[in-house]
Amino acid sequence: MVENRAERQILRGTREGGKTYSFDDEHDKRKPAQRWFQSSHEGDIFFLVFYSQACRWSKCLGCNLPSKCSQFHIDYEALMAQVDHAFSDEELLARSDSVRKVILSNNGSMLDEATFSSTALMYLLARMNMHLPHVTILTFESRPEYVDIAELEMMSRTLKEGGTETQLEIAIGLEAYDERIRNEAFRKGLDLDVLERLAADLAPYKFRLKCYVMQKPVPGMSDAEAVEDVRQAIDYLGKVASRHGVEINVHVNPTYVSSGTPLAESFERGEYVPPRLMDVAQAAKHARDKDVSVFLGLYDEGLAVEGGSFMRPGDEGLVARLEEFNRTQDFNILDRL
């Protein structure tokens, strides 16, 4: 059965990644894992994380997101119940007219049909058309190997039946530009030629690409090296955007330390310190006049171990300015910091 094969892949990846966490098999499978709101230059964002079977890769160095999922298959009826639960949320109903972007996640790959039902996915699109009439961008988080252009075309046609023209965006984790850091140290398993092919596939349909880049994702990087890697990622993705005519957003996530990972072990030994938000701002400034937009991730999802967050006491004012940058894309804000 598909679910048994997926379960074996999850457990194998967990072992190979040196993870020591357990899975959240006690979560109510009829309720999503998390949801929150953000603000960006594109408008209000609704970020919805489904509770599903965990990521089949599960090897990435500092990632414990699979621990918020199930190691077992979650059927389409439970996932559809999660959709209903999300769209009965009072805050979402109150903000439905202001939401312009929806980001969908299952802490893995939303487009992996082995871990997220296609039936539930289509049901979700129908509910979006009915209840979020002004969404202009719908984002799916996924590893590139699960992206099926024919499936995206079908979803794009479905969304056109809603009240607003909605663009599709695929969000992938690039994590680091440096090949050694990305694939040897972080164990991402992603080559740049795969990203290039994805960009080329998305471009003819005007589908967009979001790339998550982690600042200082592994031990052994200095703060200066971490800033430089983000800058190189911005340069590279700007060239990809120009070469293929695809719209790219660079989502810079400062790394936090999460439990049950090799990164947490390095942190406990004093070998790793999370990045500073001022360095995140410094790296983001490099995107000025580049062919990409930038969003700064400022939420550790409540998963950081004690002392392991990029948020430090006294950072509140800085966070407010960075959130202002997210809303405006005004690089003068970063200059003034």
Res 61 pLDDT > 70: yes
Number of domains, the chain: 2
Res 96 pLDDT > 90: yes
Same domain, residue pair 132 and 243: no
Confidence of residue 301 (pLDDT cuts 50, 70, 90): confident
Res 275 pLDDT > 60: yes
State mean pLDDT over 107-124. Answer: 97
Same domain, residue pair 237 and 145: no
Res 300 pLDDT > 70: yes
- Identify the domain containing residue 271 by its residue range: 196-215+225-337
Same domain, residue pair 161 and 235: no
User: Most distant CA pair in the chain: distance in Å?
Assistant: 57
Same domain, residue pair 133 and 233: no
State mean pLDDT over 73-84. Answer: 98
Closest CA to 296 of 308, 307, 306, 311: 311
Task: Please indicate, yes or no, if residue 21 is contained in any of the structural domains.
Answer: yes
216-255 pLDDT, tens per residue? 999 999 999 999 999 999 999 999 999 999 999 999 999 9
Contact 213, 238 (CB under 8 A): no
Q: What is the pLDDT of residue 1?
A: 45
- CB count within 10 Å of CB 219 equals 17
Task: Please indicate, yes or no, if residue 171 is contained in any of the structural domains.
Answer: no
Same domain, residue pair 25 and 81: yes
Res 3 pLDDT > 60: no
Res 292 pLDDT > 70: yes
Task: Please indicate, yes or no, if residue 129 is contained in any of the structural domains.
Answer: yes
Contact 70, 25 (CB under 8 A): yes
CA atoms within 13 A of residue 30's CA, in its CB half-sphere = 5
State mean pLDDT over 182-210. Answer: 97
Contact 101, 55 (CB under 8 A): no
Q: What is the pLDDT of residue 42?
A: 87
State mean pLDDT over 67-94. Answer: 97
Same domain, residue pair 16 and 146: yes
Same domain, residue pair 95 and 56: yes
Q: What is the pLDDT of residue 201?
A: 97
Task: Please indicate, yes or no, if residue 183 is contained in any of the structural domains.
Answer: no
Same domain, residue pair 148 and 209: no
On whether the pTM is more than 0.75, the answer is: yes
Same domain, residue pair 14 and 68: yes
Same domain, residue pair 142 and 205: no
Confidence of residue 98 (pLDDT cuts 50, 70, 90): very high
Task: Please indicate, yes or no, if residue 1 is contained in any of the structural domains.
Answer: yes
Query: Residue 124: what are its φ and ψ, rounded to 5°?
Result: -60, -45
Same domain, residue pair 155 and 203: no
Same domain, residue pair 210 and 275: yes
State mean pLDDT over 12-31. Answer: 97
State mean pLDDT over 181-200. Answer: 98
Confidence of residue 4 (pLDDT cuts 50, 70, 90): confident
Q: What is the pLDDT of residue 302?
A: 87
| Gap between the Cα atoms of 53 and 71, Å rounded | 5
Task: Please indicate, yes or no, if residue 170 is contained in any of the structural domains.
Answer: no
